[in-house]
Structure 1
Amino acid sequence: MDRKPRQLAGTGRGVLVTGASRGIGRAVAAAFARQGDRVAVHCSTRQADAERTLAALEGSGHTLLEGDLADPAQVEALAAEAAAVLGGVDVLVNNAAVMVRHPLPETSYADWQDAWQRTAAVNLFGAVNLSHCIARRLIDEGREGRIVNVGSRGAFRGEPDHPAYGATKAALHAFGQSLAVSLAPHGIAVASVAPGFVATERVAGRLEGPEGEGIRSQSPFGRVAEPEEIASAVLYLASPGAIWSSGTVLDVNGASYLRT
């Protein structure tokens, strides 16, 4: 293949981060902005939080975009709008996810169906569809790019109270590895991070409650991760120097779960 895509720049790139209203997504958006990239902060429902994320970003050229990732038409529109506003999307971070509690022994069949459909629609199909839309644009324009998926330690150790979450994150890891192979000839690298427990707003109550100590003790460091630590891993995998890490699933869990 003699086609040579444009070299991916180190900074000044267009970056789309899904689920960037708070938590890991907010930290990821901030990390890219600090190094001079233009960031599209995506949200589906938490607009006020997303606006706070946007307002705190360093630099200029950032934007706030809304869209339901469970709706393929809205995903397509989101990709087009991000490309138009940013002047092209060089980096996609598939971070958005839902986590619905549905332990099988306690869950009715109807609720079980609902939990799996809601979770898969966002965690898997939303990321799958958006990756297609962004990658197709990169290929058609002859641009190099990066896709980084935010998976989970739960893909490996299991999520008994949230089985659909664990399963969709495992599928997201596998999807990323498939894309890493198929998109490499086009200069597009794809990788995933698999965080353990992270101190985000969503789990603050658990960390402050009776189970907090047990959660922290899962890691020999005696604590959980900060969102910025996950963002650092994402930033590396999206960097020009990490192209040879394409296809990897990087554990970022403080040695709380070791794969063999």
Structure 2
Amino acid sequence: MTAPNDPDQPGARIPCQTRKVFGFPVAVSSVEELSRALAEHAPEAQAPCLVAAADVHVMTLGVHDPDYGAVLEKMDVVCPDGMPVVWKLNQGLSAGERAAERVSGPDLMEALVRANAAYPELRHFLLGGDEEMLEVLGSVLKEKHPAFHLAGAYSPPFHSWTEEDRRAMREAIASSGANVVWVGLGCPKQERWMAEQKELLPPAVYVGVGAAFAFHAGTVKRAPRWMQRNGLEWLYRIYREPGRLLKRYLKHNSLFVWYVLTGR
């Protein structure tokens, strides 16, 4: 069963059908369609529109941790970032129902940055990472996509944030005039920040993109396309960063399989 996201929510006027995964509505769209919808929405946004890219980790954490589940419920769009999530979305499709496609954070970022050529009013903001990373990322995106309009960038402090820190982040976004904010704080921090700050954030499209900053800046190599298409990107990332990712992937991949088998 599909349904559009709730048009009565002030930030959510994005034409997008959804189907449920573990009780959460996930977009049935494509990178091209969603990037176009966001590009059209961003310049006219009257409220924050929050977009989460949900892989296996995000979906299972939403079930396993009720507080994080409440965070996901505040998102205006949840994209299927991960082939297992896509496979779950397409499980038991009826005749004529549309099959979901993967919409990963890095791919969505690439598409929406590229869309600046057709939508010159888009003004992008990079939030997350250190200053060196942000400088490299901005330069790489501008070199690859000359129409890219970088309105601003901000590297938040690495200590636990105070209310003053949070206010400084909001003010940096507001003063830049950005209408697309790329939030590269890592999961689950970026989604928590967006949800907690939703009522205070300046109007814009906010997209949590995790490792996309490192991928596009070239500091971390992304898995080959054939691994991405076959749901093996997680294995490649474990190979590249075993100390940081092995435990996380083993835990959440196992939980995902368990939730599927038990009809969650």
> TM-score by structure 2 length?
0.35
> TM-score by structure 1 length?
0.35
